[in-house]
């Protein structure tokens, strides 16, 4: 096994393996959607209560959509014959990919999914297997099945079963590409009925794209398809039935001949297949979709060297206009499942493509701006396909697909109220999808220098390497060279990884940092020799002095010691910002909502005045992260019931906030369920915060720490942080034994803070 992946993949083999093995092996699990805490619950879920829905389904099979998970369940089926460009490695080897697909279904469209790997290279075996299990599912997503078997399997299953059968490698690519084509033609002022298109590649994706182009209005004779042997023309020998369907009468025999004068070229073939001379020969305002992965048929910069009038799309995320199936398949299935469609037909695919194209023309919401690092993309040559982080995808595409299913007569459960349906779709949305993406996009432009204090710690080291490889900035490791080399070997890397290392053996910096620290602490009873010892013996002090003295832009520390011990060191070496209180703030990211929780780590029992300052600073951080702060000051009482000495402190903080005339919504005191659950809005109609809160100010560190730790372990969401708010320098502290991903997030936030906050 090679030690290191190609640069584009940004990780080592061992790191990829560790990711899949940590915790529960793999990437998916099954959890119950019902409470099963009592004997009565068990009796209803299984015997004898389960007999009742069984009998109902036996009388009316359609009720399976009501009494089981069938209506929100998709099977991802593969035999591993065409895995992610890796080739035919077999069914079992394809399982990590299929689990990954299931994760995407859940993450982006709230669809439950199970991967099924069929150990057969025989199309009839696969057809029989899927047919026999199809009644369990609301839809089937075929994945990584080689041509021509994928055509045979999909076509036959559509005839045999009455649920959607969708081969994403074909139709997902086709839908996104068609959406991009619609917009590219609009921008270039060309008609879909007149353009000349060349498709280089004749595999499953290429054929599906060609068919959807034609179903969207491109005349049959205007599309020339090429394979490895050249143009597919009428009369050519050795052409199978799927290719021959797209053969045309033409004298062209090579790609070079066919592309001359073409308006559009779609590449679904191999790197380097399209040359600059070919691009030069195309018509005015050419459209180039170079979608081979990971290396396109021709790089966009090579196109722009010879044509400044071109519109370019690729399959890569590091260029504009990425043709990404993630924009399509989760939402297409969402719409199909919600009307219990019998199939996903051409009308539904065209509707999806048109909806995606239309969405790219609209002004983008702030979530997309955040994902683009603060830049607001506008419809044009470099934005013809919507961002994968556009929150409107979940409402726009399923709605269009559902309507097309109803209009074409394949919907078994038509939607009666589309306004209510859109509300249901929005409730599935996770507004935090673009949170870290937005932060990372921003810091990629500034390349901040971030210190990783625990340089030899394996998790910190992996985070630092990822920080560099993903282009987020320049890491600096505080480390002993020999110990670092041992850690590198453990994570699958050699010594030549090219990251800056620093430690107290640097005499010049030691003197510089000692002088800084002594100047800061000399009137607090600290002697110069004590400052010298602190700088040379404590890596947190060393790193924080680096930041304070301008030798680095930020730091992440703490993974090998208790949080409070690290904070104590930082309070001494850099201190808090003027007129600000130091506190911990966690972000809890779960399905449908992101919640900020403070103070989680610093102030044991905040006074009313301290609660006010924590609330104001938390609201400021929420705004910086792109949220509209709605602050709830929590207590074990709600608006005076029950009233105790401890609840009065929280109520006084609310009164003080009212006098401060802050510019964000707040209320309290209230219990957490009142703050978060909309069912309490009718009970307390006078409060705009009840049921709407996204910033929770905890009454004590005990309540906060217990709550966030329980959420992390039991809540099913993700905790980011705690962020250390109010420190005089952009430094974050990782809780003891954080994962590399958690440390990486904190490093990104430190870099982000150093850019947008004046220290």
3-state secondary structure 454-512: CCCCHHHHHHHHHHHHCCCEEEEEECCHHHHHHHHHHCCCCCCCCCEEECCCCHHHHHH
Q: Decide the pairing of beta strands 630-634 and 223-227.
A: unpaired
The Cα 87–Cα 90 span in angstroms is 9
Edge-to-edge order in the sheet of strand 197-200:
230-231, 223-227, 197-200, 264-267, 287-290, 311-314
Q: Do residues 639 and 655 make contact, with C-beta atoms less than 8 angstroms apart?
A: no
* DSSP sequence for 81-99: SSBTTTB---TGGGHHHHH
State in Å, rounded, how far the first CA of the chain is from the last one: 47
| 330-344, 639-653, 740-754: range with highest mean pLDDT | 330-344
Q: What is the pLDDT of residues 89-99, one digit of tens each?
A: 999 999 999 99
Long-range contacts of 359-364 (CB under 8 A, 24+ apart): 359/386, 359/390, 359/392, 359/393, 359/396, 360/179, 360/183, 360/384, 360/385, 360/386, 361/183, 361/186, 362/392, 364/390
Q: Which among 696, 753, 678 has a CA at the least distance from the CA of 723?
A: 753
For 113, the 3-state DSSP assignment is strand
Q: Averaged over 690-697, what is the pLDDT?
A: 94
For 155, the 3-state DSSP assignment is helix
Q: What is the pLDDT of residues 465-477, one digit of tens each?
A: 889 988 899 999 9
What are residue 587's phi and psi, to 5 degrees?
-105, 125
Q: What is the pLDDT of residues 570-604, one digit of tens each?
A: 989 998 888 788 999 998 887 657 899 999 888 88
Q: For position 7, what pLDDT does the model report?
A: 36
Q: Averaged over 508-522, what is the pLDDT?
A: 94
For 587, the 3-state DSSP assignment is strand
Helix axes of 393-407 and 418-427: crossing angle, nearest 10 degrees: 140
Q: Averaged over 118-124, what is the pLDDT?
A: 96
Q: For position 372, what pLDDT does the model report?
A: 64
CA 707 to chain centre: 26
What are residue 123's phi and psi, to 5 degrees?
-60, -40
Work out the pLDDT band at 149, boundaries 50, 70, 90. Answer: very high
Tell me the catalytic residues.
Answer: 46, 101
What are residue 227's phi and psi, to 5 degrees?
-120, -165
Look up the pTM and report it.
Answer: 0.69
Q: Where are the alpha helices (DSSP H) in 13-91?
A: 13-21, 39-45, 51-59, 64-67
Residues 6+ positions from 34 with CB-CB distance below 8 Å: 41, 45
Percentage of residues of the chain with pLDDT beyond 70:
95
The overall average pLDDT reported for the chain is 89
Helix axes of 539-548 and 563-573: crossing angle, nearest 10 degrees: 40
Instruction: State both tokens at 336.
Output: 């199909």
At residue 116's C-alpha, the angle toward residues 113 and 117, to 5°, is 145
Torsion, Cα 679 683 687 689, to 10 degrees, reads -20
């Amino acid at each position: 096994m090679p030690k290191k992946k190609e640069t584009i993949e940004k990780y080592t083999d061992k790191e990829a393996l560790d990711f899949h093995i940590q915790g529960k092996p793999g990437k998916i699990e099954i959890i119950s959607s019902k409470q099963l805490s009592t004997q009565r619950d068990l009796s209803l879920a299984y015997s004898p209560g389960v007999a009742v829905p069984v009998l109902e389904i036996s009388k009316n099979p359609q009720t399976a959509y009501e009494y089981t998970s069938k209506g929100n369940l998709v099977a991802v089926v593969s035999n591993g014959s065409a895995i992610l460009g890796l080739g035919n490695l077999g069914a079992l080897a394809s399982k990590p990919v299929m689990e990954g697909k299931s994760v995407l279904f859940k993450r982006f469209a709230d669809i439950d999914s199970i991967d099924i790997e069929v150990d057969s290279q025989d199309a009839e075996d696969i057809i029989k297997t899927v047919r026999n299990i199809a009644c369990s599912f609301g839809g089937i997503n075929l994945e990584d099945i080689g041509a021509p078997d994928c055509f045979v399997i999909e076509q036959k299953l559509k005839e045999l079963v009455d649920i959607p059968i969708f081969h994403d490698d074909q139709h997902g690519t086709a839908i996104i590409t068609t959406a991009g084509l619609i917009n590219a033609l609009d921008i270039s002022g060309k008609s879909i009925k007149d353009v000349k298109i060349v498709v280089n590649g004749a595999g499953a994706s290429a054929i599906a794209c060609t068919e959807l182009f034609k179903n969207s209005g491109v005349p049959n004779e205007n599309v020339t398809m090429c394979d490895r042997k050249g143009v597919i023309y009428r009369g050519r020998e050795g052409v199978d039935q799927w290719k021959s369907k797209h053969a045309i009468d033409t004298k062209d025999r090579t790609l070079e001949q066919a592309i001359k004068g073409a308006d559009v070229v779609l590449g679904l073939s191999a790197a380097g297949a399209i040359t600059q001379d070919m691009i030069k020969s195309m018509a005015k305002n050419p459209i180039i979709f170079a979608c081979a992965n990971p290396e396109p048929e021709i790089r966009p910069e090579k196109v722009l060297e010879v044509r400044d009038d071109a519109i370019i799309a690729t399959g890569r995320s590091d260029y504009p206009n990425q043709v990404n199936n993630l924009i399509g398949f989760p939402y297409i299935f969402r719409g199909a499942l919600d009307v219990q469609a019998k199939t996903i037909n051409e009308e539904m695919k065209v509707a999806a493509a048109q909806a995606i194209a239309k969405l790219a023309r609209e002004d983008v919401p702030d979530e997309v701006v955040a994902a683009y690092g603060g830049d607001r993309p506008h419809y044009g040559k470099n934005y013809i396909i919507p961002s994968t982080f556009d929150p409107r995808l979940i409402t726009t595409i399923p709605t269009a697909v559902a309507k097309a299913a109803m209009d074409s007569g394949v919907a078994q459960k038509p939607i009666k109220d589309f306004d209510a349906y859109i509300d249901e779709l929005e409730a599935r949305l996770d507004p935090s999808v673009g949170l870290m993406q937005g932060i990372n996009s921003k810091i990629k432009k500034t390349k901040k220098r971030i210190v990783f204090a625990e340089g030899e710690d394996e998790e910190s080291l992996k985070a630092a390497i990822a920080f560099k490889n993903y282009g987020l900035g320049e890491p600096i490791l505080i480390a002993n060279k020999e110990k670092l080399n041992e850690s590198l070997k453990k994570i699958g890397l050699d010594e030549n990884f090219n990251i800056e290392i620093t430690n107290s053996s640097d005499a010049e910096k030691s003197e510089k940092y000692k002088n800084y620290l002594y100047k800061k602490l000399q009137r607090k009873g600290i002697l110069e020799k004590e400052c010298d010892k602190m700088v040379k013996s404590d890596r947190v002090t060393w790193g924080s002095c680096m930041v304070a003295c301008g030798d680095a832009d930020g730091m992440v520390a703490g993974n090998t010691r208790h949080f409070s011990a690290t904070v104590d060191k930082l309070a001494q070496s850099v201190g808090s910002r003027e007129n600000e209180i130091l506190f911990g703030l966690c972000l809890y990211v779960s399905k449908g909502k992101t919640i900020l929780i403070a103070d989680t780590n610093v102030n044991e029992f905040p006074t009313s005045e301290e609660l006010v300052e924590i609330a104001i600073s938390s609201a400021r951080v929420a705004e910086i992260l792109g949220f509209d702060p709605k602050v709830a000051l929590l207590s074990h009482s709600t608006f005076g019931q029950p009233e105790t000495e401890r609840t009065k402190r929280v109520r006084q903080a609310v009164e003080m906030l009212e006098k401060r005339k802050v510019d964000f919504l707040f209320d309290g005191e209230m219990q957490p369920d009142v703050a978060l659950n909309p069912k309490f809005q009718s009970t307390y109609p006078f409060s705009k915060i009840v049921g709407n809160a996204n910033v929770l100010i905890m009454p004590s560190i005990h309540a906060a720490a217990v709550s966030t730790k329980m959420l992390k372990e039991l809540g099913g969401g993700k905790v980011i942080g705690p962020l250390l708010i109010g420190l005089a320098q952009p430094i974050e502290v990782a809780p003891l034994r954080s994962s590399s991903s958690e440390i990486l997030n904190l490093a990104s936030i430190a870099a982000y803070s150093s850019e947008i906050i004046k220290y």
